[in-house]
Chain A
Amino acid sequence: MTEMVKGYNFAFIDEYAKREIRRKVLKAVSIPGYQVPFGSRELPIARGWGTGGLQITLSLIGQKDILKIIDQGSDDSVNAVNIKRFIEATTGVFITSDTLKATIIQTRHRIPEEELGDDQILVLQVPYPEPLRIVEPEEKETRRMHAEMDYAKIWVFLYENIVKWKEITIGARYPVMVAGRYIMDPSPIPRYDVPRLNNARTLYLFGAGREKRIYAVPPFTEVKPLEFEDHRFRIENFKGKACELCASTDTFLDEIILDDKRMYTCSDTSFCKKRGNNPRVLKYIDRNQQ
């Protein structure tokens, strides 16, 4: 357990900063998918390394919370460890790697495989909050496009993609439509995780520290990836591949290059361990697909 650092407020940032973030989080939840600007503070962790998610977590967290932090699905990756060290040292809360035990999960680039409950909050770190940035560099203009629901440019972009490549080229960070109103960047989660946002039981909060935006997807909210009638949204294909460690064939896999071969392991390391012990542990099942 890391020792608590002295001389700093509980959860590091001052109460004025927390209050502002809390007000903005409530507005974000009230207007699903809309990016609320906020006065992002500098933290001892670099901009672009999860400071938006971190500021949300620090504003949410209380002494009784149980926290899980992952990066690329893993609890042990250096960045996840670094953020954990910081929060532990400034709050003293319990840290877990068990997805089901956590009250708050902060994540970069993944949603855990197991189904999250309605008393949990998932905080996603966001590098680019603006889904329209790929077609329009200027903030003034993208803000107008959202205001007027003028989304023609991104539809044209996707259409031209299909014409040229017979496939949409966006890998992760696949744009979604939230509650039929706002196009939203789901953060760089793989497409595999995108259906998890739709009608979920959990509250998803998104924080972009460098770009100073907060947004949210409440539970039971319709979240649809942008797709065409004749060109459906498609998740990553792991057909014929299995995790080398737990033998799962239904999880998102990391591809690993070794000297003599190529192999795959689960990206969600905590889930992989559970499956390793008990192959019958359930992952999230997409009820909307059934």
Chain B
Amino acid sequence: MISLFNYPPTEEQIWILMKTGTGSEIGLLWLRILTILLMGIVFWFWFNKLRTVASVKSSVISIILLVMSPAVWGIGWSYPLMVVKLVLVLCVVTFLKTKWWIILLVLVGLGFYNVSFLKQNPAILSKITMSDARNEVNNRFMSEDTLRIKMELPLMWRRIGYNKLFITYRQVLAELLPFFDLETLYFQEVHPMEQKSVVLFYWPEIFILIFGIYFWVTSKLKNDSNNILVVLLVISFIDFLFSNTVLYQRFILLLIPLSLLMAYGVEKILVANRYVGAVVGVVLLYATYVNSYDISKRADFWLDNRPLVYQYWYTGIKPLGVENFEKIYVSTLIGSSQNYCWFYLGDICKTDKFVFNSFNLSTGNIDNGLYAGFAGEFVGPKFKNDFSSDWDSQLPAKDLTLISKENIRDTVAYKYGNDIGLVIKK
């Protein structure tokens, strides 16, 4: 059974293991432990910084709320480069004064880090170039001009509203509005669109946030405390804007100021009434338990399915014996096949026995060998991604033998189905 703890490595982890030459399960475990330790050390520094601007109680509660967050664990366990980003930001905020030029440097650094190291392509950059705006303006005019029955509005009037500059402003706003997404932040457990994201905060914590905001705006907090909060909110906002990755990772920096606000709320509740505070604590502990249980049962629901695909293929290839095949073809529909191969099978992946490319066995001649791919690569892609469960019954007609197949939860290769398999052509 797949759980968070035995979840296969992510591409980021593979990349680091390749750089350090420690491609094995042990190496992965060490990487994970080191990453968690790194996060722990940073939280410790952050806690000490927080103590200088807020009460000890708030500081402790803030750290506890962060540690309880599944998103923090998810990132700590699988995304070391994201943890490095967290480390860098918290170090700056902890050890340096929050002067405007330092903050500006941090923001520029974040943008550079996201684009260069994390290889993200923030959507907002394409909006600023106005190419999308031009397309939208044209589309609007064309669409409206096709109406046979319509109100006649002067062209000049329409141009005031539909122009590249304004549409760019609108598109930029559309990029920053998702930052204000309560559903992703607090209701991921019951999200109406069942979007793919790890839980950031549990839903009962929304009420603690409301308390926290109330006490923040009505209390006379120290300037330093206010400054830290505002600075972190701005940093997390800019990081969100200039990132392009799985949703919960875009919000990771926002967890810190929100946890601080919630900590204020919890502290005030405890001061007002210990018993109510105890109830809050019990509810949050139960929420943590429920979500831990959920992840233990449905890790593939919460986490990226692509590592599971590679794990299936390569752990399936190994017992068949790599030496028994002239060629082994592995799909590249979902990214860096070769790196995963190296992790599971070692240096043999660098030989020409392995061919890393997507394929289509439904047409043309099929070379002998072992094929690891998606259903659509074996029987042909389908536009609507609607493959029947017995798609493999088509294989014998082409002298193909199915070794094994498995269904994955998410659609990671649209048009190619949710089934993955190992097939031999002799």
Mutual binders A and B? no
Contacts from A to B (Cβ < 8 Å): none
Contacts from B to A (Cβ < 8 Å): none
